[in-house]
Every structure is written in C-alpha cells, then in structure tokens.
Structure 1
Amino acid sequence: VCSSDLIPPEIGNLSSLNVLNLQGNNLSGSIPAEIQQCQTLFELRLSDNCLTGHIPVELGKLTELQVILDLSHNNLSGEIPQSLGNLMKLERLDLSSNHLQGQIPPSLGKLSSLDSLNLSYNLLQGQLPSSFSSFPRSAFLGNKKLCGAPLARCLGSSRRSGKWLSTAEVDAIIFAIVFTTAVVCLVMIYMMLRIWSTWRKVAVSNNEGIGNEIKEQDQEKWLGY
C-alpha cells in the first residue's frame, strides 16, 4: 500500500552523501530534482516504492554514480532522459517495471562501464542500440514494441531505423502480396490452358492423320484383292 510520504527536496542538502537507499518504503510523489546536489553519490536505490512522474533529467548530473541506479518497481512514466548517458561510471542500471515510454535514447548505448541493465516491463518501443546486443533478452522483455538484437529483428530496420510499420502500411503490404499472388495464379492458369489447348489440337490432328492412314491402308488391301 502506498503511503503519503514523499522524498523531501531537502535531500539535496546532503551534499556529502555517498549512498542513498530508500527502496521498499512505499514512498509516493516524484523524485525531487534537488537530488542533483548530492554530487558524491555513487549508489542510488529508490526501487519498490510508489514514485510517479518523469525521471528527472537532473539525475544525469550525478556523474559519480557507479555501483547502481535502481528506480525499478515504481510508477514512473515519460521517456528515459538523454542525460542518463552522462553517467559514464555507472555499472548497473535498473528501470524495470515502470510505465516508461518512447525510444531508448542512443546515449545509453555509450555507457561503456555498464555491466547490468534491466529495462523490462515498460512501454518502450523502437530499435535497441547495437551495443545492447550483449545483454540478455530478459533485460528487455515486456516491451512489446521493442526490437533489435537480442530481441526480434526490426521490420524494415535498414530503411526506417527500427520504427514500426503503421497499420496502413501493413494493410498496403498485405494487399500487394495478395494482389500479386492472384495475378501470378491467373497468369499460370492462362498459360496452362494455352498449353492444354495447343496439346489438344496436336493430339486431335495426330489422331485424324492416323485415321486417314488406316483408311488408305484398308483401301489398298481391298484393291489388292
């Protein structure tokens, strides 16, 4: 059950804080932007609460974060901010089980120190950064519109940069396939009928020729008698 307790903006006054662990406290409200003032944080755990709103872009200023940034199992929404790509020392990132939307920012693909990643069970879409292919499929499950290695290949990825085809485009492709198949079938039927007709004429002509030869032979026999 979610409580009415919030993370106070005064958290930013703890400028010498190294570890902040508030997980599993049923906290409500949003993540205060003032947390950016905790410049010495190297571990931030806010998972298993009832936090709402967007992930503040100010988290990208916590460049000393290294051990983990864990915001999983909350009610966070909106897009993943590009600024998280500034956390170059970060080794573990867990944003799973929220309501995050949109595409994964390319900046996350440049986190060279990242060993563990979990973005599962959100509403993310589009193509995964190529550098994410080394992570397990479980890191991205529950995002029905995500594609690219290690998930399924994106439709038209070479032309559309991982964007999904619209319903109208899918309908047009299906119509084109059905129409082309129908035309090919009609052409094949027409060709088969032409071949059969030609073969029938040849067969009839041959039969008539054989019949005439038999008649001539019979006439010659009678004349011989």
Structure 2
Amino acid sequence: MLSWLWHSSGLRWFVVLVSGGFLGKLRWFPSMTLVWPQRCRRRWLSAGNESRSEEETRRREDFDIEVVIGVGSGGADDWRRIVKEKAVVFVDLRPSKFNFSSSLSFLDLSRNSFTSSMILQWLSNVTSNLVELDLSGNQLNGEIPESNKLPSLLESLSMKSNILEGGIPKSFGNACALCSLDMSNNSLSEEFPLIIHHLSGCARFSLQELNLKGNQINGTLPDLSIFSSLKILDLDGNKLNGEIPKDIKFPPQLEELDMQSNSLKGVLTDYHFANMSKLDFLELSENSLLALAFSQNWVPPFQLSYLGLRSCKLGPVFPKWLETQNQFLDIDISNAGIADMVPKWKDTYIHGISSSSSSIAIEKQQLNR
C-alpha cells in the first residue's frame, strides 16, 4: 500500500520504507534514485554504511531528488529522525503492490542478500522506464532463466560479484537499449561463442561495454565485428582456449580489449586489428600459447597508451610496429621471447626503465643495446 504522509506541489525530499516478504529480512542498503517529479534535477543520497567511489559520487552529485531505502524493523519515528522535517513516503514493495512504472529510472540494489535472479522478471513487470539497474554484490545464484526479460528502456545492468552460473540468456540480446552489461566475477561457464550469439539480437547495435571478467567462460573467439558500438570488452581471467580463427575481426569502435590470463592459442595478425583506429588499451598477457605476427612494414591504425603482452609469443625479433606507437604510458612485453637489439625509441633506449612519459617492462629476455 502506498501512503503519503505529507505532500505538496513543492515536494523535493521523501523516504521509502521497504517491507513485505518479497525482500525478506535484509540489512540496510544504499539508496536508489527515483526520477520524480521529472521537472526536478536529481541528487544521490546514501543511507548505507558503505562508502561510494569518487566516480559514483561525481556521477550523482548533481541530483536533487533523494530517495532513501531501508529494510528492517525501523518505524516511522526512525525515518522522521532521519529526514527531520522533510517529506516522508512509505511504500510497500510486495510484488502485488509496488508499481513505479512511470517514474523509476535508476535503481541500486547492490550489496544485499538477494538470491534469485527472478528479481529481473519482477522488476521488468513493475518498472517500465528503468534505465539503470545495479544488482552487484548480492548472492544471486544458479542460471538466469531464459524467461527473464530486461526492461525495454534499460541501458545499464550490473550483476557483477554474484554466484551466477551458466551463460547469458537470449533475452538479454533483445534489450535494444542496453549499452553496458557487467557480469564480472561470477561463475559463468558457457562457451564464449554461444554467449556472443545470445547477445547478437538488437543489443549488438547498442552495446558499448561488455565486462565478463573473472568467470569460467571457455571456447575460442568468435567474430565480434557485428558489435558496431562496442568500446570496452573485458574477458580477463576466464578459461578461453582453442585456436583463434584467422578470419575473425574485433569491433571497429573498440577502445579497450582485455583478454589476459586465459589459454588462447594461435596467431593474431594485422588482419584481426584492421579498422581499429580507436584502440587505446590492449592487454593480452599470460596467454603463453598466443603469438603475434604482423607484416614487416605494418603500421597499426591505432595509437596505444597501454600494451600488455607479458608471456605471449612476440619475439625473437623486436617488433618493428611498436616503434610506430608514440602515446605509450605503460608497456609490458616481459617474458615474450625477444632476443634482439633494442631500438632507440621515444628519445631513450627501452631497457626495463621508466622515463618521464612511459613505464616499460621488458625484463627476463636476452636484450642487447
């Protein structure tokens, strides 16, 4: 039941009290933002004990509307003490009662004790305008049911740091507004080509960031060039394996690619990196069976600020294409099988030293000056 304890045309502050069996006995959790009324700007107010990152603070520091969410036995008097003389609203969040379909845009339910991924289905039914949803740091477990559909306007979904298994349902690939999907630090074990296939609906046009770091995803790399808007792809710390096909390409808009600490093998060539003019961050370290072999006079279409090829097969000749890179801030090509003269580069010899503009690690190799 939704009861307004106080209301006026100038309503700016209000508090939501969560109750009902659906949420159960949870601890207090950080606030969410309710975009209502829309004529006001929004401001973030944290009611939890956890400190928020500077990035999150900056992202929400312009907000004016404040929504504080709590769970437990606290009554009206407790809430009045929290907000003093500000407006107070009590809301019953039982599935049969709760409906903010025209107003709720940002919802942060992170760091709680939710266990069922069916919460996605429930939220989709009651929040048609949801744009950002954070379910990270809960206890969501098992496979995400294929029946779970995302809200049609959802742009950002984080389910990182849970205990989810299996893969990503096809319904996620049909979320046409989805820009950011963070499923990192779970126990996903599906083959990567199947995951990509499931995301190849209309989401392939909108998705800009895909974070699958720290799972158990296996299989080799499929063609990713169909993801025309993808800027960040993080596959660090999975179980990717198998030969990389010679005819696949990466997304043309990709800026950051992290595939370190897998078991990829085969050869990456200039063909794979064609048309990648925006690539800035490339991390392939700890793929000991992965080789990079580029044409002798190849000039990459990109300028990297970071390169990690530690323990990959890069030598024995010092890669000439590296000399075309003038924006490096950090480069790690240690233990990459190089046994060659180190060229004079960026006004200094790169010999495992740090200069004013770059940090370069190339130790554990037979380098000569």
TM-score (norm 2): 0.37
Which one has more relative contact order, counting CA pairs under 8 Å at least 6 apart? Answer: 1
CA drift at 1:62: 0.7
Instruction: Provide the C-alpha distance between the structure 1 equivalents of 2:256 and 2:134, rounded to a whole number of angstroms.
Output: 26
Within-5 A mapping of 1:116-155: 116-125=232-241, 126-127=243-244, 129-131=248-250, 139-147=258-266, 148=268, 151=284, 152-153=290-291
CA drift at 1:23: 0.7
Residue 161 of structure 2 corresponds to residue 48 of structure 1: yes
Residue 233 of structure 2 corresponds to residue 114 of structure 1: no
Residue 222 of structure 2 corresponds to residue 105 of structure 1: yes
Structure 1: 5+ residue runs without aligned partners?
Answer: 156-225
Deviations 1:94-141 (A, max 9, x none): 0111011112332x322121111101111112327432696556x001
Instruction: Provide the C-alpha distance between the structure 2 equivalents of 1:26 and 1:146, rounded to a whole number of angstroms.
Output: 34
Whether the 8 Å CA contact 1:55–1:77 is kept in 2: the answer is no
Aligned partner of 2:152 in structure 1 is: 39
Residue 200 of structure 2 corresponds to residue 90 of structure 1: no
Instruction: Provide the C-alpha distance between the structure 1 equivalents of 2:123 and 2:265, rounded to a whole number of angstroms.
Output: 35
Q: Which amino acid in 2 is paired with 1:153?
A: A
Q: Which amino acid in 2 is paired with 1:93?
A: L
CA drift at 1:146: 4.5
C-alpha change, 1:37 and 1:73, in structure 2 (3 Å) is closer
Whether the 8 Å CA contact 1:11–1:34 is kept in 2: the answer is no
C-alpha change, 1:51 and 1:115, in structure 2 (3 Å) is same
CA drift at 1:4: 7.1
Whether the 8 Å CA contact 1:41–1:64 is kept in 2: the answer is yes
Q: Which amino acid in 2 is paired with 1:5?
A: T
Rg: which structure is higher?
1
Deviations 1:139-185 (A, max 9, x none): 00111125526653379xxxxxxxxxxxxxxxxxxxxxxxxxxxxxx
Aligned partner of 1:12 in structure 2 is: 124
Structure 2: 5+ residue runs without aligned partners?
Answer: 1-111, 270-281, 285-289, 294-369
Whether the 8 Å CA contact 2:169–2:198 is kept in 1: the answer is no
Over aligned residue pairs, what C-alpha RMSD do you find?
2.8
Aligned partner of 2:300 in structure 1 is: none
Deviations 1:60-105 (A, max 9, x none): 1012112x11000001111232131332111111011101111233
Whether the 8 Å CA contact 1:6–1:28 is kept in 2: the answer is yes
Percent of aligned positions with the same letter in both sequences? 30
Matched position secondary structure for 2:164: coil
Q: Could you say which structure has the higher helix fraction?
A: 1
Within-5 A mapping of 1:54-93: 54-66=167-179, 68-80=180-192, 81=195, 82-86=197-201, 87=203, 88-93=205-210
C-alpha change, 1:4 and 1:39, in structure 2 (3 Å) is closer
Instruction: Provide the C-alpha distance between the structure 2 equivalents of 1:77 and 1:3, rounded to a whole number of angstroms.
Output: 23
Matched position secondary structure for 2:199: helix
Q: Which amino acid in 2 is paired with 1:85?
A: S
The number of equivalent residue pairs is 151
C-alpha change, 1:46 and 1:143, in structure 2 (3 Å) is same
Instruction: Provide the C-alpha distance between the structure 2 equivalents of 1:3 and 1:52, rounded to a whole number of angstroms.
Output: 17
TM-score (norm 1): 0.58
